Chains A and B, each alone.
Chain A
Amino acid sequence: MTSLPETTAKKLGLVIDLDTCVGCQACATSCKEWNAGGYSAPLTDQDAHGSDPHGTWLNRVHSYEVGDGAESRTVHFPRSCLHCETPACVTVCPTGASYKRASDGIVLVNPDTCIGCKLCSWACPYGAREYDYDDGVMKKCTLCVDRIYNESFAPEDRVPACVRACPTGARHFGDLGDPDSAVSQLVSERGGFDLLPEMEFKPVNKYLPPRPRRDQTAQPAPRAVEQPATNSGSLADRFFAWADKTLAR
Chain B
Amino acid sequence: MDVSFTAQAERSAMAHHEPDIALSEPSADEIKTTTCYMCACRCGIRVHLKNGRVRYIDGNRDHPVNRGVICGKGSAGIMTHTSPARLRAPMKRVGPRGCGEFAEISWTEALETATDWLKDVRARDPSKLAFFTGRDQSQALTGWFAQQYGTPNFAAHGGFCSVNMAAAGLYTFGGSFWEFGEPDWEHTKYFMLFGVAEDHASNPLKIELGKLKQKGVKVVAVNPIRTGYGAIADEWIGIRPGTDGLFIGALIHELMHAQKIDLDYLVRFTNAHWLVIDDPQAPDHGLFARDADGKPLALDKATGVLVDATRAGISPALVGTLKLRDGRQARPSFALIAERFLSDEYSPEKVAATTAIPAETIRRIARELAHAAFEQQITLDVPWTDTDGRRHEKTVGRPVSMHAMRGISAHSNGFQTCRMLHLLQIVLGSIDCPGGFRYKAPFPRPTPPPNRPARPSQPNTPLKGAPLGFPQGPEDLLVDADGRPQRIDKAYSWDAPLAAHGLMHMVITNAATADPYPVDVLFMYMANMSWNSSMNIPAVLRHLTATDEKTGEYKIPKIIYSDAYSSEMIAYADLILPDTTYLERWDCISLLDRPISGTDAPADAIRQPVVEPDRDVRPFQTVLLDLGARLGLPGFVTDTGSPRYPGGYPDYIVNHERSPGIGSLAGFRGTDGKSYGRGAPNPKQLESYIAGGCFHEHHLAPEQRYYKHANKAYLDWAKDVGFIGAAAPITFQLYLEPLQKFRQAARGHGTVTAPATHRARIEKYFDPIPFWYPPFDGAPSEDETFSAITQRPMHVYHSWGTHNGWIRQITAENSLYMNRARARKLGIADGDWVWIKSAIGRVKGRVRLMEGVNLDTVWTWNAIGRRAGAAALGTDAPESTRGFLLNHLITELLPEREGGYRFSNSDPITGQAAWYDLRVSIERAAPDEFGETWPQFVPLHSPPLAEAAP
Residues of A bordering B, CB below 8 Å: 1-5, 19-26, 28-30, 32-34, 37-39, 45, 48-55, 57, 63, 65, 67-69, 72-76, 93-96, 99-102, 108, 110, 112-113, 145-146, 149-153, 156-157, 161, 164-170, 210-211, 213-216, 218-220, 222-223, 225-226, 235-236, 239-240, 242-249
- B311 neighbours in A (Cβ, 8 Å): 249
Asked whether A22 lies within 8 Å of B209 as measured between CB atoms, the reply is yes
Asked whether A48 lies within 8 Å of B806 as measured between CB atoms, the reply is yes
Q: Is B59's CB within 8 Å of the partner chain A?
A: yes
Question: Shortest 6 CB-CB distances between A and B: which pairs?
Answer: A48-B805, A25-B72, A168-B210, A167-B206, A74-B231, A215-B235
- A20 neighbours in B (Cβ, 8 Å): 209-210, 213-214, 232
Q: Is B383's CB within 8 Å of the partner chain A?
A: no
Q: Is B234's CB within 8 Å of the partner chain A?
A: yes
Could you tell me the distance between the alpha carbons of A243 and B267 in the complex, rounded to whole angstroms? Answer: 11
Asked whether B261 lies within 8 Å of A146 as measured between CB atoms, the reply is no
Asked whether B75 lies within 8 Å of A33 as measured between CB atoms, the reply is yes
Could you tell me the distance between the alpha carbons of A29 and B57 in the complex, rounded to whole angstroms? Answer: 11
With A33-B76, A246-B302, A249-B267 known as contacts, the answer to whether A152 contacts B18 (CB < 8 A) is no
Chain A residue nearest in CB terms to B793? A25
Chain A nearest CB, measured from B439 CB (Å): 21
Could you tell me the distance between the alpha carbons of A170 and B198 in the complex, rounded to whole angstroms? Answer: 17
Could you tell me the distance between the alpha carbons of A29 and B342 in the complex, rounded to whole angstroms? Answer: 51
Chain A nearest CB, measured from B949 CB (Å): 12
Chain A nearest CB, measured from B183 CB (Å): 16
Asked whether B84 lies within 8 Å of A49 as measured between CB atoms, the reply is yes
- A38 neighbours in B (Cβ, 8 Å): 25, 27
Asked whether B58 lies within 8 Å of A30 as measured between CB atoms, the reply is yes
Could you tell me the distance between the alpha carbons of A215 and B206 in the complex, rounded to whole angstroms? Answer: 21
User: Can you spell out 26 A-B residue pairs with CB atoms less than 8 angstroms apart?
Assistant: A26-B70, A28-B810, A29-B806, A33-B806, A48-B806, A49-B84, A50-B877, A51-B874, A51-B876, A51-B881, A65-B850, A69-B851, A99-B16, A100-B16, A146-B24, A150-B25, A156-B61, A168-B232, A169-B207, A223-B258, A236-B343, A243-B261, A243-B263, A245-B263, A249-B267, A249-B268
Chain A nearest CB, measured from B265 CB (Å): 10
- Contact flags B734-777 to A (C-beta < 8 A → 1, else 0): 00000000000000000000000000000000000000000000
Q: Is B812's CB within 8 Å of the partner chain A?
A: yes
Specify which of B11, B807, B872, B881 is in contact with A95 (CB 8 Å cutoff): B11
Q: Is B3's CB within 8 Å of the partner chain A?
A: no
- A37 neighbours in B (Cβ, 8 Å): 50, 55-56
Chain A residue nearest in CB terms to B231? A74
Chain A nearest CB, measured from B787 CB (Å): 20
Q: Is B900's CB within 8 Å of the partner chain A?
A: no
With A51-B877, A168-B206 known as contacts, the answer to whether A19 contacts B213 (CB < 8 A) is yes
Asked whether A165 lies within 8 Å of B210 as measured between CB atoms, the reply is no
With A53-B805, A243-B334 known as contacts, the answer to whether A249 contacts B877 (CB < 8 A) is no
Q: Is B256's CB within 8 Å of the partner chain A?
A: yes
Q: Is B273's CB within 8 Å of the partner chain A?
A: yes
- Identify which of residues 311-363 in chain B touch chain A, using a CB-to-CB cut-off of 8 Å: 311-320, 334-335, 338-339, 342-343
- A110 neighbours in B (Cβ, 8 Å): 19
Specify which of B202, B313, B319, B794 is in contact with A243 (CB 8 Å cutoff): B319
Specify which of A28, A94, A214, A239 is in contact with B218 (CB 8 Å cutoff): A214
- B851 neighbours in A (Cβ, 8 Å): 65, 67-69, 72
Could you tell me the distance between the alpha carbons of A102 and B15 in the complex, rounded to whole angstroms? Answer: 13
Q: Is B69's CB within 8 Å of the partner chain A?
A: yes
Could you tell me the distance between the alpha carbons of A211 and B375 in the complex, rounded to whole angstroms? Answer: 25
Could you tell me the distance between the alpha carbons of A94 and B872 in the complex, rounded to whole angstroms? Answer: 43
Q: Is B259's CB within 8 Å of the partner chain A?
A: yes
Q: Is B941's CB within 8 Å of the partner chain A?
A: no
Could you tell me the distance between the alpha carbons of A32 and B57 in the complex, rounded to whole angstroms? Answer: 11
Could you tell me the distance between the alpha carbons of A214 and B795 in the complex, rounded to whole angstroms? Answer: 28
- Identify which of residues 834-883 in chain B touch chain A, using a CB-to-CB cut-off of 8 Å: 850-852, 872-874, 876-878, 881
Asked whether A145 lies within 8 Å of B76 as measured between CB atoms, the reply is no
Could you tell me the distance between the alpha carbons of A37 and B50 in the complex, rounded to whole angstroms? Answer: 10
- B367 neighbours in A (Cβ, 8 Å): 219-220, 222
Asked whether B231 lies within 8 Å of A23 as measured between CB atoms, the reply is yes
With A110-B19, A225-B259 known as contacts, the answer to whether A26 contacts B71 (CB < 8 A) is yes
- Contact flags B10-22 to A (C-beta < 8 A → 1, else 0): 0111111111011
With A112-B19, A150-B23, A166-B69 known as contacts, the answer to whether A244 contacts B232 (CB < 8 A) is no
Specify which of B11, B50, B231 is in contact with A76 (CB 8 Å cutoff): B231
Asked whether B70 lies within 8 Å of A165 as measured between CB atoms, the reply is yes
Could you tell me the distance between the alpha carbons of A76 and B229 in the complex, rounded to whole angstroms? Answer: 11
Other A-B contacts than A222-B370, A244-B320, 17 sampled, CB-CB below 8 A, are A1-B12, A3-B16, A22-B209, A24-B228, A34-B56, A53-B812, A74-B230, A100-B16, A112-B19, A145-B21, A150-B27, A167-B202, A216-B364, A222-B367, A236-B342, A244-B317, A249-B316
Asked whether B14 lies within 8 Å of A93 as measured between CB atoms, the reply is yes
Q: Is B264's CB within 8 Å of the partner chain A?
A: yes
With A213-B234, A214-B234, A249-B312 known as contacts, the answer to whether A49 contacts B258 (CB < 8 A) is no
Q: Is B211's CB within 8 Å of the partner chain A?
A: yes
Asked whether B11 lies within 8 Å of A32 as measured between CB atoms, the reply is no
Q: Is B660's CB within 8 Å of the partner chain A?
A: no
- B803 neighbours in A (Cβ, 8 Å): 49
Could you tell me the distance between the alpha carbons of A153 and B69 in the complex, rounded to whole angstroms? Answer: 16
Chain B nearest CB, measured from A119 CB (Å): 11
- Contact flags B214-237 to A (C-beta < 8 A → 1, else 0): 100010000000111111101110
With A49-B873, A243-B318 known as contacts, the answer to whether A24 contacts B259 (CB < 8 A) is no
Chain A nearest CB, measured from B252 CB (Å): 11
Specify which of B232, B316, B806, B881 is in contact with A22 (CB 8 Å cutoff): B232
Q: Is B816's CB within 8 Å of the partner chain A?
A: no
Chain B residue nearest in CB terms to A247? B267
Could you tell me the distance between the alpha carbons of A225 and B302 in the complex, rounded to whole angstroms? Answer: 25
Chain B nearest CB, measured from A151 CB (Å): 4
Asked whether B873 lies within 8 Å of A246 as measured between CB atoms, the reply is no
